Chains A and B, each alone.
Chain A
């Protein structure tokens, strides 16, 4: 248990569906991240929120829309996805202030997405 919870753990959706992934962290961290993990490829950084402000949008297609309503919650809204978007989506959090290990990410267990 890392203190970062993701739901749902598995999601199957059609290309015309709209769904959302949810992430909640119980660690009091001030930064949250979405990463995409595909087989045999590096983790791809998608979005970074620091102090609830989006600070990184790594050329992600607009069919992925993040939302960070507060420092504990992060969402990834999905619409009109493509089969190549099937992957494991990992949420992470970190504490970005003095005394913390800069770059230590705490990951959730991930949401396995399959797009038909």
Chain B
């Protein structure tokens, strides 16, 4: 069983629309949750993190966490072509005092003008 699952996409949305990216995880011991963005040919960069159930907003991005359902999502409002990238969901299994980030395979987002 995959530890972190994401739909590989591509998810295609028009410019200005809301993009909704979803992720499920299997380990109930996961303590914190992350969304990384990876442009083609580049390394991943952190865009959002969330620790508690509910919503967390940062600019055009909203992360949503439901621990009971083991579900994390990322909403991107007013999508721009520059948002076109692969979005990686990651969960932190803090173990033995160090961070152990487990990643999903990513969802490719394409925002078209």
Residues of chain A at the chain B interface (Cβ within 8 Å):
2, 31, 33, 35, 40-43, 45, 48, 50, 55-56, 90, 94, 96, 101-105, 107-110
Collect the chain B residues with CB atoms within 8 Å of residue A48's CB.
98-100
Residues of chain B at the chain A interface (Cβ within 8 Å):
2, 4, 8, 31-32, 34, 36, 42-46, 49, 88, 90, 92, 94-106
B39 CB, min distance to chain A CBs, angstroms: 11
B15 CB, min distance to chain A CBs, angstroms: 27
- Whether A2 lies near B43 (C-beta < 8 A) is yes
Cross-chain contact of B49 among A40, A104, A107 (Cβ < 8 A)? A104
Cross-chain contact of A50 among B98, B101, B102 (Cβ < 8 A)? B98
- Whether B43 lies near A43 (C-beta < 8 A) is no
Report how many A-B pairs have Cβ atoms within 8 Å: 68
Q: Is the interface of A mostly helix, strand, loop or mixed?
A: loop
* A90 to B49 alpha-carbon distance, docked (Å): 21
* A105 to B42 alpha-carbon distance, docked (Å): 14
Collect the chain B residues with CB atoms within 8 Å of residue A56's CB.
95, 98, 100
Cross-chain contact of B98 among A42, A55, A90, A107 (Cβ < 8 A)? A55
Closest Cβ neighbor of A88 among chain B residues: B43
**Mind listing 7 A-B residue pairs with CB under 8 Å?**
A41-B105, A42-B102, A55-B98, A56-B98, A102-B32, A102-B99, A104-B49
Collect the chain B residues with CB atoms within 8 Å of residue A109's CB.
42-43
Most chain A C-beta atoms within 10 Å of own C-beta, residue among B8, B31, B46, B104: B46
* A116 to B90 alpha-carbon distance, docked (Å): 32
Closest Cβ neighbor of B104 among chain A residues: A42
- Whether B98 lies near A45 (C-beta < 8 A) is no
- Whether B100 lies near A45 (C-beta < 8 A) is yes
Most chain B C-beta atoms within 10 Å of own C-beta, residue among A103, A104, A108: A103
* A40 to B108 alpha-carbon distance, docked (Å): 10
